Structure 1
Amino acid sequence: MERNGAEFRFSATSLTQAEFERIKALAFRLAGINLSQAKKSLIVGRWNRRLQHYRLGSFSEYLDLLSQPEARGELQTALNLLTTNETNYFRERQHFDFLRERVLPKARQQGRFRVWSAACSSGEEPYSIAMLLAAELGNVPWEVLGSDISTSVLTTARDGIYAMERARPIPQEYLHRYCLKGTGPQAGTFRVDRAIRERVQFRYINLNEPLPDIGVFDVILLRNVMIYFSAETKSQVVTRMLPALTADGHFLVGHCETLNGVTDRLAMSTASIYTRASRCA
Structure 2
Amino acid sequence: MMAETPAALQSREFAWTVADFDRIRRLIYQHAGISLHEGKQAMVYSRVSRRLRETGHDSFRSYLDWLESSRDPAEWQEFVNALTTNLTSFFRENHHFVELARMVREGGAGREWKIWCSAASTGEEPYSIAITMADVLGMQGAFRIWASDIDTRVLETAARGIYKLEQLRTVAPEQLRKYFLRGKGANEGLARVKPELQKHLQFFTLNLVDESWPLREEFDAIFCRNVMIYFDHDTQRRVLARLHRLLRPHGTLFVGHAENFSDARDLFRLRGKTIYEKV
TM-score (norm 1): 0.91
Q: What are the residue-to-residue correspondences of 1:240-279 with 2, within 5 Å?
A: 240-277=242-279
- Quote the residue 1:35 is aligned against: 36
- Quote the residue 2:82 is aligned against: 81
Residue 89 of structure 1 and its aligned partner are, at CA, apart by: 0.2
- Quote the residue 1:4 is aligned against: none
Q: 1:45 to 1:162 in 2, by over 3 A?
A: same
Matched, 1:23 2:24: yes
- Quote the residue 1:49 is aligned against: 50
Residue 190 of structure 1 and its aligned partner are, at CA, apart by: 1.3
Is 257-266 or 29-38 further displaced after alignment?
Answer: 257-266
- Quote the residue 2:111 is aligned against: 111
Q: What are the residue-to-residue correspondences of 1:135-214 with 2, within 5 Å?
A: 135-138=135-138, 140-209=141-210, 210-214=212-216
Residue 140 of structure 1 and its aligned partner are, at CA, apart by: 4.0
Q: Please, what is the CA RMSD of the aligned residues? A: 1.4
Distance, in Å, in 2 between the alignment partners of 1:47 and 1:245 is 36
Question: Which residue identity is paired with 1:231?
Answer: H
Is 115-124 or 39-48 further displaced after alignment?
Answer: 39-48
1:249–1:276 CA contact under 8 A, matched in 2: yes
1:108–1:140 CA contact under 8 A, matched in 2: no
Is 155-164 or 182-191 further displaced after alignment?
Answer: 182-191
Question: Which residue identity is paired with 2:225?
Answer: R
Distance, in Å, in 2 between the alignment partners of 1:150 and 1:137 is 31
2:134–2:141 CA contact under 8 A, matched in 1: no
Q: 1:196 to 1:67 in 2, by over 3 A?
A: same
Aligned residue among 221, 224, 227 for 1:222 = 224
TM-score (norm 2): 0.91
2:181–2:192 CA contact under 8 A, matched in 1: yes
- Quote the residue 1:94 is aligned against: 95
Residue 260 of structure 1 and its aligned partner are, at CA, apart by: 1.3
Is 188-197 or 124-133 further displaced after alignment?
Answer: 188-197
Residue 124 of structure 1 and its aligned partner are, at CA, apart by: 0.5
- Quote the residue 1:8 is aligned against: none
Distance, in Å, in 2 between the alignment partners of 1:188 and 1:140 is 29
1:220-269, Cα deviation, whole Å (9 max, x unpaired): 01101111111111111111221110112111111221111145211111
- Percent identical pairs in the alignment equals 37
Distance, in Å, in 2 between the alignment partners of 1:213 and 1:95 is 23
Q: 1:196 to 1:14 in 2, by over 3 A?
A: farther
Question: Which residue identity is paired with 1:159?
Answer: R
2:122–2:157 CA contact under 8 A, matched in 1: yes
Q: Which runs of 5+ in 1 are unaligned?
A: 1-10
1:238–1:263 CA contact under 8 A, matched in 2: no
Residue 214 of structure 1 and its aligned partner are, at CA, apart by: 3.7
1:58-81, Cα deviation, whole Å (9 max, x unpaired): 111111111134521011011101
Distance, in Å, in 2 between the alignment partners of 1:193 and 1:39 is 39
Residue 15 of structure 1 and its aligned partner are, at CA, apart by: 2.2
Is 256-265 or 194-203 further displaced after alignment?
Answer: 256-265
Question: Which residue identity is paired with 2:100?
Answer: L
Structure 1 runs (4+) greater than 3 angstroms displaced? none
1:181–1:190 CA contact under 8 A, matched in 2: yes
2:155–2:204 CA contact under 8 A, matched in 1: yes
Q: Which runs of 5+ in 2 are unaligned?
A: 1-11
Is 240-249 or 45-54 further displaced after alignment?
Answer: 45-54
1:107–1:113 CA contact under 8 A, matched in 2: no
